[in-house]
Amino acid sequence: MSNFKHLKSGMIAAALVGLGVASPLHAQLPDHLRAYQLSAPRASGDVVGPMFNGWIKNKDGSVTMVFGFANKNQEEIVDIPLGENNKIEPAQFDGVQPTHFPVYSRGGFVGIQERGTFAVTVPADMAETEVVWTLSHAGHSYSVPGRASKAYEMSNEGAAMGSLNPAIRFDANGEESTDRVGIYAPLVNAKVGTPVTLSASAQDRGDRRGYDVETPFFPVGTEWILHQGPVGATVAFDNPKVTGEDRGESDQQSASGSGDWTETTTNVTFSEPGDYVIRLRVDNFTAPDSQFDNQCCWSNAYVPVKVSN
The 10s digit of each residue's pLDDT in 8-27 is: 334 333 332 333 333 444 45
What is the rounded CA–CA span in Å between residue 166 and residue 163? 9
- The three state secondary structure string of the chain is CHHHHHHHHHHHHHHHHHHCCCCCHHHHCCHHHCCCCCCCCCCCCCCEEEEEEEEEECCCCCEEEEEEEEECCCCCCEECCCECCEEEECHHHCCCCCCEECCCCCCCCCCCEEEEEEEEEECHHHCCCCEEEEEEECCEEEEEEECCCHHHEECCCCCCCCCCCCEEECCCCCCEECCCCCCECCCEEEECCCCEEEEEEEECCCCCCCCCCCCCCCCCEEEEEEEECCCCCCEEECCCEECHHHHHHHCHHHHCCCCCCEEEEEEEEECCCEEEEEEEEEECCCCCCCEHHHCECEEEEEEEEEEEC
Domain check: are 224 and 291 in the same one? yes
Does the residue 162 lie in any domain?
Answer: no
- Please give the average per-residue pLDDT across 29-33, as a whole number: 55
Closest CA to 154 of 295, 25, 308, 2: 295
pLDDT for 171-218, tens place per residue?
A: 999 999 999 999 999 999 999 999 999 999 999 999 998 898 888 899
Domain check: are 243 and 293 in the same one? yes
Domain check: are 173 and 240 in the same one? yes
Q: What is the CATH number of the domain that holds 211?
A: 2.60.40.10
Q: What is the reported pLDDT for 26? A: 47
- Please give the average per-residue pLDDT across 85-90, as a whole number: 98
Domain check: are 174 and 130 in the same one? no
Q: What is the reported pLDDT for 32? A: 54
Contact 118, 300 (CB under 8 A): yes
Does the residue 232 lie in any domain?
Answer: yes
Domain check: are 149 and 187 in the same one? no
Q: What is the CATH number of the domain that holds 133?
A: 2.60.40
Domain check: are 8 and 60 in the same one? no
More confident residue, 209 or 251: 209
Where residue 41 falls among pLDDT bands split at 50, 70, 90? Answer: confident
Where residue 40 falls among pLDDT bands split at 50, 70, 90? Answer: confident
Does the residue 138 lie in any domain?
Answer: yes
Q: What is the reported pLDDT for 215? A: 86
Q: What is the reported pLDDT for 249? A: 67
- DSSP strand pairing (48-57 vs 153-154): parallel
Domain check: are 137 and 171 in the same one? no
Compute the residue count for the chain.
309
Q: Look up the pTM and report it.
A: 0.85
Domain check: are 302 and 203 in the same one? yes
Among residues 113, 132, 154, which one ends one of the domains?
A: 154
Q: What is the reported pLDDT for 28? A: 55
Domain check: are 207 and 248 in the same one? yes
Domain check: are 182 and 290 in the same one? yes
Is 254 a residue whose pLDDT tops 60?
A: no
Domain check: are 207 and 239 in the same one? yes
What is the rounded CA–CA span in Å between residue 177 and residue 220? 14
Q: What is the reported pLDDT for 156? A: 85
Domain check: are 139 and 192 in the same one? no
Does the residue 266 lie in any domain?
Answer: yes
Reduced to 3 states (helix: H, G, I; strand: E, B; else coil), residue 280 is strand
Phi then psi dihedrals of residue 100, to 5 deg: -115, 125
Does the residue 18 lie in any domain?
Answer: yes
Does the residue 40 lie in any domain?
Answer: no
Q: What is the reported pLDDT for 31? A: 59
Q: Which domain holds residue 204?
A: 167-308
Q: What is the mean pLDDT of the chain?
A: 87
> CA triplet 148, 149, 153: central angle to 5 degrees?
80
Q: How many structural domains compose the chain?
A: 3
Is the Cα dihedral 84, 90, 93, 97 positive or negative? negative
Does the residue 39 lie in any domain?
Answer: no
Percent of the chain topping pLDDT 90 = 72
Does the residue 72 lie in any domain?
Answer: yes
